[in-house]
Protein backbone atom coordinates (compact mmCIF):
# COMPACT_ATOMS: atom_id res chain seq x y z
CA UNK A 1 0.00 0.00 0.00
CA UNK A 2 1.23 3.49 -0.81
CA UNK A 3 -0.16 6.81 0.35
CA UNK A 4 0.24 10.35 -0.85
CA UNK A 5 0.10 13.34 1.45
CA UNK A 6 -3.37 14.89 1.09
CA UNK A 7 -3.48 17.65 3.70
CA UNK A 8 -2.39 18.86 7.10
CA UNK A 9 -4.56 20.98 9.40
CA UNK A 10 -3.08 23.77 11.50
CA UNK A 11 -5.13 25.23 14.34
CA UNK A 12 -4.76 29.01 14.01
CA UNK A 13 -5.24 31.90 16.42
CA UNK A 14 -4.66 34.84 14.03
CA UNK A 15 -6.05 33.69 10.68
CA UNK A 16 -5.11 36.86 8.78
CA UNK A 17 -1.48 36.73 9.88
CA UNK A 18 -1.19 33.04 9.03
CA UNK A 19 -2.82 33.40 5.59
CA UNK A 20 -0.47 36.30 4.83
CA UNK A 21 2.58 34.26 5.92
CA UNK A 22 1.71 31.19 3.87
CA UNK A 23 0.57 33.11 0.75
CA UNK A 24 3.03 36.01 0.76
CA UNK A 25 6.17 34.77 2.52
CA UNK A 26 6.06 31.12 1.45
CA UNK A 27 4.21 32.12 -1.74
CA UNK A 28 1.74 29.22 -1.64
CA UNK A 29 -1.47 29.78 -3.63
CA UNK A 30 -4.49 30.45 -1.46
CA UNK A 31 -7.57 28.29 -1.80
CA UNK A 32 -11.10 29.37 -0.83
CA UNK A 33 -9.82 32.68 0.59
CA UNK A 34 -12.64 34.76 -0.89
CA UNK A 35 -15.22 32.20 0.15
CA UNK A 36 -13.83 32.17 3.70
CA UNK A 37 -13.85 35.96 3.91
CA UNK A 38 -17.46 35.95 2.66
CA UNK A 39 -18.45 33.39 5.34
CA UNK A 40 -19.31 30.73 2.77
CA UNK A 41 -16.75 28.15 3.98
CA UNK A 42 -15.47 27.54 7.53
CA UNK A 43 -11.72 27.74 6.79
CA UNK A 44 -9.22 28.69 4.06
CA UNK A 45 -6.43 26.55 2.68
CA UNK A 46 -3.14 27.01 0.85
CA UNK A 47 -1.98 24.71 -1.93
CA UNK A 48 1.32 22.93 -1.40
CA UNK A 49 1.22 20.86 -4.60
CA UNK A 50 -1.26 19.37 -7.03
CA UNK A 51 -1.90 16.63 -4.45
CA UNK A 52 -1.53 18.44 -1.11
CA UNK A 53 -2.99 21.37 0.80
CA UNK A 54 -2.68 22.95 4.24
CA UNK A 55 -5.98 23.79 5.94
CA UNK A 56 -5.91 26.74 8.33
CA UNK A 57 -8.55 26.20 11.02
CA UNK A 58 -9.64 29.44 12.72
CA UNK A 59 -10.01 29.39 16.50
CA UNK A 60 -13.80 29.01 16.37
CA UNK A 61 -13.31 25.55 14.83
CA UNK A 62 -11.13 24.15 17.61
CA UNK A 63 -11.57 26.29 20.74
CA UNK A 64 -14.48 24.25 22.11
CA UNK A 65 -12.54 21.00 22.04
CA UNK A 66 -9.31 22.41 23.46
CA UNK A 67 -9.79 25.91 24.89
CA UNK A 68 -6.56 25.97 26.94
CA UNK A 69 -4.11 25.16 24.16
CA UNK A 70 -3.67 25.62 20.44
CA UNK A 71 -3.80 21.81 20.19
CA UNK A 72 -0.30 21.26 18.78
CA UNK A 73 1.58 19.36 21.46
CA UNK A 74 2.08 16.26 19.30
CA UNK A 75 3.29 17.99 16.14
CA UNK A 76 7.05 18.43 16.09
CA UNK A 77 7.31 19.92 12.61
CA UNK A 78 6.27 19.40 9.02
CA UNK A 79 8.50 19.37 5.97
CA UNK A 80 8.24 20.70 2.42
CA UNK A 81 10.65 19.67 -0.33
CA UNK A 82 11.85 21.89 -3.17
CA UNK A 83 14.92 22.08 -5.36
CA UNK A 84 18.20 23.79 -4.45
CA UNK A 85 17.33 27.01 -6.29
CA UNK A 86 13.95 27.12 -4.53
CA UNK A 87 15.62 26.62 -1.16
CA UNK A 88 18.08 29.44 -1.76
CA UNK A 89 15.29 31.73 -2.99
CA UNK A 90 13.23 30.91 0.09
CA UNK A 91 16.18 31.66 2.38
CA UNK A 92 16.50 35.10 0.74
CA UNK A 93 12.75 35.75 1.18
CA UNK A 94 12.83 34.66 4.82
CA UNK A 95 15.78 36.97 5.43
CA UNK A 96 14.00 39.89 3.73
CA UNK A 97 10.87 39.23 5.80
CA UNK A 98 12.79 38.97 9.07
CA UNK A 99 11.93 35.30 9.56
CA UNK A 100 14.73 33.65 11.54
CA UNK A 101 16.19 30.42 10.22
CA UNK A 102 16.58 28.55 13.50
CA UNK A 103 18.68 25.72 12.11
CA UNK A 104 20.42 24.92 8.88
CA UNK A 105 21.32 24.37 6.28
CA UNK A 106 21.94 20.88 7.69
CA UNK A 107 21.91 17.36 6.27
CA UNK A 108 18.85 15.36 7.31
CA UNK A 109 17.12 12.13 6.39
CA UNK A 110 13.75 12.24 4.63
CA UNK A 111 11.39 10.50 2.25
CA UNK A 112 13.90 10.58 -0.62
CA UNK A 113 17.13 9.95 1.30
CA UNK A 114 19.58 12.53 2.61
CA UNK A 115 18.80 16.16 1.87
CA UNK A 116 19.72 19.64 3.00
CA UNK A 117 17.23 21.30 5.35
CA UNK A 118 16.48 24.63 6.99
CA UNK A 119 14.08 25.14 9.90
CA UNK A 120 11.99 28.20 10.74
CA UNK A 121 8.65 29.03 12.37
CA UNK A 122 5.41 30.45 11.09
CA UNK A 123 3.81 33.37 13.00
CA UNK A 124 2.14 31.00 15.50
CA UNK A 125 5.22 28.94 16.31
CA UNK A 126 4.78 25.89 14.06
CA UNK A 127 8.18 24.59 13.00
CA UNK A 128 8.57 24.23 9.24
CA UNK A 129 11.38 22.31 7.60
CA UNK A 130 12.17 22.98 3.94
CA UNK A 131 14.67 20.73 2.21
CA UNK A 132 16.14 19.89 -1.14
CA UNK A 133 17.75 16.72 -2.39
CA UNK A 134 20.94 16.67 -4.46
CA UNK A 135 21.32 13.67 -6.72
CA UNK A 136 24.82 13.00 -5.40
CA UNK A 137 23.73 13.08 -1.75
CA UNK A 138 20.42 11.18 -1.75
CA UNK A 139 22.08 7.81 -1.18
CA UNK A 140 24.52 9.03 1.48
CA UNK A 141 23.83 7.78 4.99
CA UNK A 142 22.66 10.42 7.41
CA UNK A 143 22.69 9.12 10.98
CA UNK A 144 23.72 12.02 13.19
CA UNK A 145 21.29 14.93 13.25
CA UNK A 146 18.85 13.08 11.02
Provide the β-strand partners of residue 46: 30, 54
Going residue by residue through the chain, which has 146 residues, state the pLDDT in tens, using 9 for 90 and above: 677 788 998 988 899 999 999 999 999 999 999 999 999 999 999 999 998 999 998 988 877 665 455 555 557 789 999 999 999 999 999 999 999 999 999 998 888 888 899 999 999 998 999 999 988 776 666 554 44
Give me the domain span that covers residue 87. 75-146
Structural domain count, the chain = 2
Query: What's the pTM value of the predicted model, to 2 decimals?
Result: 0.79
Q: Are residues 110 and 134 in the same domain?
A: yes
- The C-alpha atoms of residue 130 and residue 105 are separated, in whole angstroms, by 10
- What CATH number does residue 128 fall under? 3.10.180.10
Q: Are residues 81 and 52 in the same domain?
A: no
Amino acid sequence: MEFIFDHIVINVVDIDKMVKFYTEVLQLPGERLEEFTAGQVPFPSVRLSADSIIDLFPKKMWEKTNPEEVCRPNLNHFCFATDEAGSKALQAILNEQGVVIEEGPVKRWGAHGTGTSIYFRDPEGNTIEVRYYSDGERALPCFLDS
